Homo-oligomer: A and B are copies of this chain.
Amino acid sequence: MRRRLQTEKLDQRREEILDASERIFARKGYHAAGIADIADELGLGHGTFYRYFKNKHDIALQVFDRVMMRFTAIGLEEDPTASNSIEEYRAQTIRILHRWLALAEERPHLLRFFHEQTVAVDMDRLAHVIEAYTLQTARFLQNGIDKAFLRADLDVRNTAEVLVALIFEGTRRALGMPDAEARRRWVAAGVNLMFDGIRPR
């Protein structure tokens, strides 16, 4: 029991360091961020790091993973078979995107990781996250085809990839936008394109 408390305390400190690193990495980028910066952010000695993380790259990796997990959770917690009509799927899509936006608005620095930290961490790591997201998106599309509310001739795999690309790059842009209203219009334009394309009906 004593041991358990000890461990919890350690885990808490570990978490604090991860939080601080997340902020610092987002603010300055991997290379410009120094271990000292993170230490200062917490008022710790920088030697203390090395009790919790092997080295700078190790911290970066874990920060990256944690950020990724937050975003992937949003997509993965939706049931790909829940929608039974195009309207439901459209609503579900918008719901997911708005959750992304909400997370990004709440923690504006998070999204920098998708794109700027790619060099620092394993390229493979990001590829893995993207693959998971693509598969999930494909499940949504397949569900629509099965239930005949999406075009039967859809190239599921590639279209899923296109959509994921759109989501990732889109959210990056979203952060540069001045206000929530602009972001919502952007999402609307994206969803319209996704569902109806640019050709007149």
Contacts and interface: CB of A to CB of B under 8 A. Distances in A.
Contacts of A150: 198-200
A162 B144 contact: no
Which one of A154, A162, A168 has the greatest number of beta carbons of chain B within 10 Å? A162
Nearest to A159: B189
Interface stretch (A5-13, A53-61, A73-81, A111-119): A111-119
Given A159-B193, A186-B158, A141 B173 contact: no
A4 interface: no
Interface in A110-153: 115-116, 118-119, 127, 141, 144, 148-152
A189 B161 contact: yes
A170 B170 CA distance: 12
Interface of A: 29, 31-32, 86, 115-116, 118-119, 127, 141, 144, 148-152, 154-155, 158-159, 161-163, 165-166, 168-170, 172-173, 176, 185-186, 188-190, 192-201
B176 A162 contact: no
A144 B189 contact: no
A29 B119 contact: yes
Given A166-B165, A198-B141, A192 B159 contact: yes
Given A162-B170, A166-B169, A151 B185 contact: no
Given A31-B31, A162-B186, A166-B162, A201 B151 contact: yes
B197 A194 contact: yes
Nearest to A172: B165
9 contacts: A32-B119, A150-B200, A151-B196, A155-B188, A158-B190, A159-B189, A159-B198, A162-B166, A162-B170
B119 A200 contact: no
Closest 9 CB pairs of A and B: A158-B189, A169-B169, A197-B197, A196-B197, A165-B169, A29-B119, A151-B200, A155-B189, A195-B197
